[in-house]
Amino acid sequence: MRINIKFLIILILAIVFGGISISNSAGIWKTQSEKIPKKINSGEGQEIYDPMSIKGSYTFSDVSKYFEIPIEDLAKAFGLNISKAKNFKCKDVKTLNADSSSKALDIDSVKYFVAFYKGIKVGLNIDVYLPNLARDIIINKGKPLNEQVEYLNKHLIEIKQ
């Protein structure tokens, strides 16, 4: 039995575009990522957003919205004005480094800031640095755990302003 090449091409196209169409209608086909952090159990029986799931493409506005941290606190902690902070991407935190030493800010700095501000336990076995401006904000406005305050005091750096 011989298969006509035109029939085969039409069949392949129908399968591909039909599959896309069906998965699109079912809500499975997504061409853009959703900026919604994963949830974890808070230990008190409720689910909260996981700061460790913050991605570099998130803006400070996204972080403020999901983690309920005022944008003013995020802006002040990282030495930004509020208008710039709203659209500032977390991956761009590394541009705030005063020098190129091994003690530098990166996406983990945002994750740890959020975790400390909210009092969410995170692993403290790696060196993650936070801006010195963040210390007072975390202590005065946040709910850091005692071990987070100790860690914070040893992991502060100056940033460009």
Long-range contacts of 135-139 (CB under 8 A, 24+ apart): 137/73, 137/76, 137/77, 138/77, 138/113
User: Whole-angstrom Cα distance, residue 33 to residue 140?
Assistant: 35
Centre a 10 Å sphere on the Cβ of residue 108 and count the other Cβ atoms it contains.
19
Residues 26 and 49 in one domain: no
Contact (CB, 8 A) for 114 and 92: no
Q: CA-CA-CA-CA torsion for 45, 47, 51, 53, nearest 10 degrees?
A: 130
Q: Determine the pLDDT at residue 161.
A: 62
Show the domain range for 18. Answer: 1-31
Residues 43 and 27 in one domain: no
State the amino acid at position 55 in one-letter form: K
Is residue 55 predicted with pLDDT exceeding 70?
A: yes
Q: Determine the pLDDT at residue 28.
A: 78
Based on the structure, what is the number of domains in the chain? Answer: 2
Is residue 40 predicted with pLDDT exceeding 70?
A: yes
Q: How far is CA 150 from the centre of its chain?
A: 24
Burial class (CB in 10 A: 0-12, 13-18, 19+), 66: buried
Residues 110 and 141 in one domain: yes
Residues 16 and 57 in one domain: no
Is residue 118 predicted with pLDDT exceeding 90?
A: yes
Residues 11 and 89 in one domain: no
For 31-53, what is the mean pLDDT? 80
Q: What is the pLDDT of residues 76-96, one digit of tens each?
A: 999 998 889 899 999 998 888
Q: Determine the pLDDT at residue 59.
A: 93
Q: What is the pTM of this model?
A: 0.78
Q: Determine the pLDDT at residue 98.
A: 65
Residues 20 and 68 in one domain: no
Q: How far is CA 68 from the centre of its chain?
A: 13
